[in-house]
Each structure stands twice: as structure tokens, then as C-alpha cells.
Amino acid sequence: MEYSLLNQMALASGTDKSENWHNYTSIYYRYFGPIRHRQLKFLEIGVYRGASVKMWESYFPNAELHFIDVTDEYLTYRSSRSKYHFFDQSNEQKMQEFAMEIGVKFDIIVDDGGHGNNQIIKSFEVCQIHIAFVTWYTTNRRGRISADEYAPFFRRSMFSAFKEKI
């Protein structure tokens, strides 16, 4: 079964995305499985030690892979196949510069970076104009924030905010 393959890759790489931790692999498989062999443009925000980099390199053999993290201080896995970018995702100017510099429309964006909803929303606001027509933007955070925190954009949850922007 294909899902088992992705989960095995997650376990082998040591990422917390496997069924032994957060079980994001079951969600990823559902949406990414049918397109995994395409020549995709992929971005993950938040890589910490790089375990997920190893998983994505295995799972998307034909993809152009980009990874953002605030620092490379903890990065223990680095590959010449992937492109790394180091800055704070909540810095809107840096996100804009990154997007303009690489000039890529991403097919898939996985935001597993900062835990704050404001960080997630800021990243999405910048990234949304750099997303290809057929795409998937996902966040590994399932939280909610109050309307006071980001009233003009975000009324219910970050997922509602994404829907409004799409």
C-alpha cells in the first residue's frame, strides 16, 4: 500500500510526521499520492533538524524542493538536492524577497514552521501569490485564534482565513 511507503519513509527519516507521532502522513498521502511523481515545485516552512527534508526527497523524486527555517543551527541533515533558505517566516519583507528571488510558483506548500497563527497567516499572505493554479497549502497547526488578534483577515480559524484568500 502506497500510504505504508510514505509512513515508512517518515519513520526511516525520523520526522514527527509519521503515524507514531502526529500522523500527518495519512493526510499527505491522500492529497500528494496521486501527484508524487510529477515535476512539482515544493516548499516546506520549518525543517528543524531536516528529518522531513529526507522524507520529502524520497517521496517526491522529481520535485524541485525548497525549505525555509529560521536558522540552520539545529540542521543535521542537509542535501545538495534541496535548496535551503534561512530567515524568520514572520518577517514579511524577507518572505517577499525570498518569493521574488526564486521566482517559482509552488505546487505544494507545507507550513510546519512557527507555531503562532500570526506567523502562519503572514506566510500564507505572502505565499498565496506564488502558488501555482493547482496546488496544496497545508499547515501542521490546527489551532484557532481570536478575531481581536487578526480581525480584518481572520474571523474564525486559520482555515477560514485561507478560504477567504483563495
Distance (Å, whole) CA 122 – CA 15:
25
Q: Comparing 32 with 134, which gets the higher pLDDT?
A: 32
Nearest Cα to Cα of residue 111 among 56, 67, 51, 81: 67
Tens of pLDDT along 30-88?
888 889 999 999 999 889 888 889 989 999 999 999 999 999 999 999 999 999 999 98
C-alpha cell at 75: 540542521
Query: Could you state, in order of their start, the residue ranges of all structural domains in the chain?
Result: 39-165
Side by side, the strands of the sheet bearing 41-45 are: 83-86, 64-69, 41-45, 106-111, 131-139
Q: Which residue has the higher pLDDT, 126 or 29?
A: 29
At 165 the pLDDT is 53
Per-residue model confidence as pLDDT tens digits over 106-132: 888 888 776 666 667 667 666 665 565
Chain-centre distance for alpha carbon 85: 13
Most confident region among 85-89, 96-100, 134-138 by mean pLDDT: 85-89
How many Cβ atoms sit within 10 Å of the Cβ of residue 89?
Answer: 24
pLDDT for residue 146: 36
Residue 96: what pLDDT?
A: 84
pLDDT value of residue 153: 40
Return the beta strands (E) in 5-153 as ranges: 41-45, 64-69, 83-86, 106-111, 131-139
Residue with the larger pLDDT of the pair 111 and 166:
111
Superfamily of structural domain 39-165: Vaccinia Virus protein VP39 (3.40.50.150)
Give the position of cell 493547482.
134
Q: Where are the beta strands (DSSP E) in 28-149?
A: 41-45, 64-69, 83-86, 106-111, 131-139
Summarize the chain as % helix, strand, coil (round to 5): 40, 20, 40
β-pairing verdict for 83-86 and 106-111: unpaired
Contact 102, 66 (CB under 8 A): yes
Q: With 0.85 as the threshold, say if the pTM is over it.
A: no
